[in-house]
Structure 1
Amino acid sequence: MARFLKNKDASIGRAPGEIIFIGKQKVDESTIDLIDYDDKTLNERELGDITEGLSCMNSNTVTWMNINGLHDTPLIKSIGNGFGLHALVMDDIVNTGQRPKMKDHDDYIFFNLKMMDYDDEDGEVKSEQLSIILGKKFLLTFQECPGDIFQPVRDRIRKNKGRIRQSGTDYLAYTLLDTICDNYIYIIERLGERIEELEDEILDNPNKKVLTRINDYKREMNYLRKTVRPVKEFLILFSKIESDLIQKETVPFLKNLLDLTSQALEAIDAYRDMLSDHLNIYNTGINNRLNEIMKLLTIFSAIFIPLTFIAGIYGTNFDNVPELHFRYSYFIMWGVFLVITISMLSLFKRRRWL
């Protein structure tokens, strides 16, 4: 649960709605990126302060403001106050350990979820909190640091592809959520490819490194499930919401998001089962190797039992042991040892114990 409960001690005892950043600061300075558009015009720039963004509210354009960096609580407060956000919403925005959720505040809808990225080199899943505020004429996104998965959305806006420039903020919100859900599936598929490759490695050489990878993938899949499942829960509510902020034309698209999250959860459960199977195969392989070792040791012990018996007889301290004074007794003893050893090895091999 460490990924979900970050620095919770910082929130103990403080007043409800008190805005305190909880998490790891990932940028030195917060920035605001603006994309303001309609079907004919496009205005894209970095804002120096919030007043420039608020001035766009007087037009009939769609205003998308993306805030990078959540540690600057005065900036978050000024944005929240400018757009009429509740103090508890601002508190949720700056608390990066929040569980994914959605809240309908009549004038706007608040979404909080995890945006993920996959590192192809080390196979690591990286995540950051993303908050979305859907208003009538504006859409705000708050993320922990610059760089995200929304570049294709920005390109569609710039090139006026599809219906995004002819639609409102609700369709833009859907597009962002759709991109996030698609990325969930992409990450699950990439992890799944590595999980499937593990089976041959487990069968060929079950070792501690393989066991560590199995446990790492199980941890990633558990985290993905804890991330995607609440997203599906609030998308069920979102697809049924009755709000002036959602146009009827957008509702069918929202239901498509449910299909994506259901597909993601089914894939996660399938790979979790596969990892459990991998773990069983690993344990079986280790047990088989241990059994082979024990069998080999048992065979050696069985061979040495008669040899030890013979050596023990002639190692006694009795004065009258006739064979001790026979000239070739030492060589005869070794001959007997070899005959016994070869006979037992032949017996074990005939019975396929070797």
Structure 2
Amino acid sequence: MRKIKYKKGRKVQPSFFDYTGSHKSVDTEMQLFVYDTHDLTECEQIQVNDIEKNIDLTKVNWLNIHGLNDVEVIKSVGNYLKVDNFMLGDILNTTKRTKLEEYHEILFFNIKSLLPIENSDNISVEQISFILKNGILVSFQEKRSDFFTHLRERIRTHSGIVREKKADYLLYLLLDAIMENFYITIENEEDRVEALIDESKTSTNPAILEQIEKHRDNFNFLKRSIIPLRDSLYSIKSMKDDVVFNAIETSNYTFFIRLHQKSLELLEQIEYDLTSLDSASNFYFSTQSHKMNEVMKTLTVVSVFFMPLTFIVGVYGMNFDNMPELHWEYGYFIILGCMLLLLVAMIVYFKKRKWY
């Protein structure tokens, strides 16, 4: 289970910024898209000083930032948009839970993007944050990834309606792309769990139970990541009737409601998968118990077979002078034959009663 580690010596102040993520070797780079239905301007490796002169407030402006190590760049972007310090702190602090905030005509949204790690049972976690203000959408990614590659191509090739919509619709598309990663992660976990369940039916290796618990932790982590996302998407509904905040067009609220429905579907699927894991654990213990019962049953039957034989041996092992059978010429062979017949009779009787 992933836990938030508290740094005892850290001083949390409004003016103090520190990137807390694990991608500290990633350089900060910026990419700017400025577009409308007719025109598109794409700026690669844009510098902070060039942002203001390239942004056109009559069009949609998407500034995508990879890498959060250069705190000064993040602060400069925040100063240009007049973003409060606590929002910048939440962008750099990757231990924060998913949340949505509306403040001073700014819509702030951060979300955890989860993807499976190849050849591993662990899950890769990246925090992605968004700031929406006055037709400008800024996305903050911890590292360069291909989450939004298809959206860039749609913008470049004028596919779909993305070039006809405003920045809030682009925010919807970006969030939807990130939520697709949840489906990929859950599907990967389900494939591994299905193979694990099949293995538990033929093997009693204790490592299977450890793997079941590992995947249960993964599903619980997914659940913990999606629940605040569900709550944040639900809170967007309350903005629909807000006459003060208009960063999202009324006609586009439907798209965010769809995202909320997706989050509910994801949670329902996770609950089902957790139930399947519980069933797998119960099946494993039941199999172990059944095999133990079979072993005990076999040992009990063998013990019962030899119990009367042991009694006979014990009787003739007593040192009494007047035991009549002691002086029979063929007494030894007769007793062995009787013991053998008794054993065969018990085996046949147990077999007919289906006791083994």
Q: How does the TM-score come out when normalised to structure 1?
A: 0.89
Structure 1 position 278, deviation (Å): 2.1
CA distance, structure 1, for counterparts of residue 68 and residue 304 of structure 2:
71
Greater mean alpha carbon deviation, residues 246-255 or residues 168-177:
246-255
CA distance, structure 1, for counterparts of residue 107 and residue 259 of structure 2:
17
1:291 equivalent in structure 2: 293
Structure 1 position 11, deviation (Å): 7.2
Q: For 1:57-101, what per-residue CA distance to the aligned partner results, in whole angstroms no more than 9, with x for missing partners?
A: 245232222222223322222222232221111111111111110
Greater mean alpha carbon deviation, residues 215-224 or residues 165-174:
215-224
Greater mean alpha carbon deviation, residues 210-219 or residues 108-117:
210-219
Structure 1 position 198, deviation (Å): 4.3
Instruction: State which of 307, 310, 324 in structure 1 corresponds to 2:312.
Output: 310
2:126 equivalent in structure 1: 128
1:345 equivalent in structure 2: 347
Is the Cα contact below 8 Å between 1:47 and 1:53 reproduced in 2?
Answer: no
Identical-residue share of aligned pairs (%): 33
CA distance, structure 2, for counterparts of residue 300 and residue 106 of structure 1:
82
Structure 1 position 352, deviation (Å): 1.2
Structure 1 position 347, deviation (Å): 2.0
Is the Cα contact below 8 Å between 2:100 and 2:232 reproduced in 1?
Answer: yes
> How large is the RMSD of aligned CA atoms in angstroms?
2.5
TM alignment of 1:1-354, pairs within 5 A: 2-3=2-3, 5=4, 7-9=5-7, 12-25=10-23, 27-119=25-117, 121-122=119-120, 124-241=122-239, 242=242, 243-316=245-318, 328-354=330-356
Q: For 1:310-332, what per-residue CA distance to the aligned partner results, in whole angstroms no more than 9, with x for missing partners?
A: 33334445566665666655544
CA distance, structure 1, for counterparts of residue 34 and residue 319 of structure 2:
104
CA distance, structure 1, for counterparts of residue 129 and residue 8 of structure 2:
20
Q: Secondary structure at the match of 1:279?
A: helix
Amino acid at match of 1:2: R
Is the Cα contact below 8 Å between 2:111 and 2:229 reproduced in 1?
Answer: yes
CA distance, structure 2, for counterparts of residue 18 and residue 99 of structure 1:
19
* Alpha carbons of structure 1 residues 325 and 136: separation in structure 2 relative to 1, 3 Å: farther
* Alpha carbons of structure 1 residues 295 and 93: separation in structure 2 relative to 1, 3 Å: same
Is the Cα contact below 8 Å between 1:56 and 1:63 reproduced in 2?
Answer: no
Structure 1 position 305, deviation (Å): 1.8
* Alpha carbons of structure 1 residues 316 and 55: separation in structure 2 relative to 1, 3 Å: farther
CA distance, structure 2, for counterparts of residue 264 and residue 163 of structure 1:
26
Amino acid at match of 2:297: K
CA distance, structure 1, for counterparts of residue 304 and residue 247 of structure 2:
82
Residue ranges of structure 1 left out of the alignment (5+ in a row): none
Is the Cα contact below 8 Å between 1:27 and 1:145 reproduced in 2?
Answer: no
Structure 1 position 49, deviation (Å): 2.3
Amino acid at match of 2:250: K
Is the Cα contact below 8 Å between 2:34 and 2:55 reproduced in 1?
Answer: no
Is the Cα contact below 8 Å between 2:116 and 2:122 reproduced in 1?
Answer: yes
* Alpha carbons of structure 1 residues 300 and 40: separation in structure 2 relative to 1, 3 Å: same
* Alpha carbons of structure 1 residues 42 and 2: separation in structure 2 relative to 1, 3 Å: same
* Alpha carbons of structure 1 residues 155 and 333: separation in structure 2 relative to 1, 3 Å: farther
Structure 1 position 229, deviation (Å): 1.0
* Alpha carbons of structure 1 residues 322 and 31: separation in structure 2 relative to 1, 3 Å: farther
Amino acid at match of 1:29: D
* Alpha carbons of structure 1 residues 85 and 170: separation in structure 2 relative to 1, 3 Å: same
Q: Secondary structure at the match of 2:83?
A: coil
Is the Cα contact below 8 Å between 1:30 and 1:72 reproduced in 2?
Answer: yes
Amino acid at match of 1:306: P
